[in-house]
Amino acid sequence: KLQLKHGSHRVGKRTDAVMAKWRGYGLGQFIHWGLYAIPGGEWNGKQYNGAAEWIRSWNGIPKSTYDSLIYKFNPVNFNAEEWAATAKQMGAKYVTITTKHHDGFCLWPSKYTNYTVANSPWKKDIMKPLIDAYDKQGIDVILYFSVMDWNHPGWRYDIKTKEDSIAFEGFKQFTRNQLLELLTLYPTAKGLWFDGTWDKSWVKQAAFADELETEMRKLRPGLIIGSRFRADENGKRHFDSNGVLMGDYEQGWERKIPNKIEDVHGNDWDCVMTVPENQWGYNKAWKGHIKTTNELLEMTAKCVSLGGNFVLNFGPQGDGAIRKEEKQLAAQIGDWMKTNNEAIYNCEYAGLEKQDWGYFTKKTGSDKLYMIVFNVPVSGALKVKLPANTSIGKSYLLAQPAQLLNTEEISGTEYFIHLKNTAAGKPFVVVLEPNAKKGSGNTYDKAKT
C-alpha cells in the first residue's frame, strides 16, 4: 500500500443516511441546458456532427459568435414546474442539473464572472426556480459543474509556462469561489456531479482539489461528490494509486452500463445515459438510434440489479420547452414505474445467478426478491437459482399479487416459475418471497394454484 496524502479518504461505501437515500434512488433525470441549446447542433444550416453541447469546439462557428449567444438567451417557454412535473411523472427520485457546462455560461447569477444569466435578456436566476420546483416535487437535486471553463481567461489545458501557472492560480480561486457560492446559494442541493476534470492542468492540482473537497464537505455535511472531481498526487483519477475509489460513488459509467457485479468493485455508482447515441444538449436533428422506452426500462433494471442508479438525460430546447419526444418517454417510463417501482426504489444487487429472462433486484433491508422480466422463454417457465438453504415461499406478478404463480422445484435450490400469460409484450415483475432457512423443518409451500 502506498502512503498517499491526496488519495481517497475512505475505503468502502458511505454508511450515512444521506448516502443510503442516494443508493435507493434507482432512477434519476439529467438536465443539460445552456447556450448550446440555442443552435441545437446546427449553424448556418450546417449540422455539427459532435455532441450538441460541444458545438463551441467546432470550427464551423467562430468562438466569439458562440460566446455572443448570451445575448440571445431568453427562454420564454422555460417553466421550472413543468420540468419538475415531467421528472415526477417519469418516477425520477433525483435530478442532476448543469449549473455551468464547458462553455462557462452560468445558469445562476454568479458574482465571479459576467458570463451568466444575469447579463442575458432573461436576466433572472434559472437555478433557484428549478431547485425549488424539484424540491417541491420531493425530487433531490444534484448540481453538475464543469471545472473546464472555455470562457474563463485563466483556463489552461496544461501548465507549461510561468504565465500559465499564474493564470491558472486565478482560475483555481475562481473555481473555488463558484463552488462555495453554489453551495451557499442552494443549500438544499444534495451533491455535486463534476465534469471537465481530465486535463493535465487540473489533474496536477491534487492538493488544491483535495483541500477544496474537504472545505465543501465541511460547508455542507453529507454532500455527495463523485469519483471524477479530483486526482491523487500521482494523477490517478476515479481510483487512487492504491485502487481505492475517490469520492462517494463511481462516475465512470457515462453512456455505458456494467455487465457483472465484479465491474463495480463493491462501490456505489450511477450511469448517466443519453436518449440519442451521444447528444446531451438539445440537438434539432433527432437522428441515429433513439433509445426506446423498453430499452431505457431495461437499462434502468440492469443498473439497479447491479446496485447502481440510472440517470436519463433530457436536453431542453433553447426556448426552455422540453421536446415532445422526451416528454413521451417520461410519460411511458412513468407508466411502467407506476406499477413496478417497488422493484426499483430502495433495491439492490440480489446476489443471485443472472438468468436470461432479465434481472433480479432485492428490496434493501428485506428478503423480498424481484424478477424484472424482459425475455419470456418459449417454455413460459422462468428459472431461478437461490442460494443454498433458501427456498421460495410464494411468487406472484407484482401487478396481480393475489394470483400466486406455480413454482416448481427442479432440484436443490433451482426452481421453475411457470407464467400464465407468456405474451406480456412489455416488461413485468415477478415477486419472490423466499422462505426462511430450508432444513429448519419447514419445507417451502408449493404455490396453492
**Bridge partners, 409 (sequence order):** 415
Residue type, 124: K
For residue 280, the minimal CB distance to ligand 1KN (Å) is 4
DSSP state for residue 445 in the 8-state scheme:
P
d(CA 361, CA 347): 6
Cβ closer to ligand 1KN: 215 or 254? 254
DSSP state for residue 37 in the 8-state scheme:
G
Task: Please give the helix or strand (H or E) that residue 195 lies within, else none.
Answer: strand 191-195
For residue 154, the minimal CB distance to ligand 1KN (Å) is 20
Cβ closer to ligand 1KN: 272 or 352? 272
Cβ closer to ligand 1KN: 32 or 190? 32
Cβ closer to ligand 1KN: 133 or 273? 273
d(CA 394, CA 433): 5
Subset of 241-280 contacting ligand 1KN (CB under 6 A) = 254, 272, 280
d(CA 188, CA 206): 28
For residue 53, the minimal CB distance to ligand 1KN (Å) is 5
- Residue 407 neighbours by CB under 8 Å, 6+ apart: 392, 394, 395, 415, 416, 417, 418, 444, 446, 447
Cβ closer to ligand 1KN: 254 or 409? 254
Closest residue by Cα to residue 264 from 305, 317, 325? 305
Q: Taking CB positions, which residue lies at the least distance from ligand 1KN?
A: 280
Tell me the three cell numbers of residue 345: 426504489
Cβ closer to ligand 1KN: 268 or 348? 268
- Decide: 257 and 302 in contact? Cβ < 8 Å: yes
| Number of chain positions touching ligand 1KN (CB under 6 A) | 8
For residue 30, the minimal CB distance to ligand 1KN (Å) is 7
For residue 190, the minimal CB distance to ligand 1KN (Å) is 18
Span from 50-58, 86-94, 236-244, 376-384 in contact with ligand 1KN (CB under 6 A) = 50-58
- Decide: 447 and 406 in contact? Cβ < 8 Å: yes
Span from 51-59, 104-112, 292-300, 398-406 in contact with ligand 1KN (CB under 6 A) = 51-59
For residue 49, the minimal CB distance to ligand 1KN (Å) is 14
Closest residue by Cα to residue 38 from 77, 73, 76? 73
Cβ closer to ligand 1KN: 291 or 368? 291
Residue 51 in contact with ligand 1KN, rule: CB under 6 A: yes
- Decide: 55 and 66 in contact? Cβ < 8 Å: yes
Subset of 289-348 contacting ligand 1KN (CB under 6 A) = none
Question: How many angstroms separate the Cα of 159 from the Cα of each of 112, 162, 167, 203?
Answer: 22, 8, 9, 11
Cβ closer to ligand 1KN: 230 or 362? 230
Among 53, 149, 210, 298, binds ligand 1KN (CB under 6 A): 53
Question: How many angstroms separate the Cα of 314 from the Cα of each of 24, 294, 330?
Answer: 21, 17, 10
- Chain length of the chain: 449
Subset of 146-205 contacting ligand 1KN (CB under 6 A) = 195
Q: Give residues in contact with ligand 1KN (CB under 6 A).
A: 32, 51, 53-54, 195, 254, 272, 280
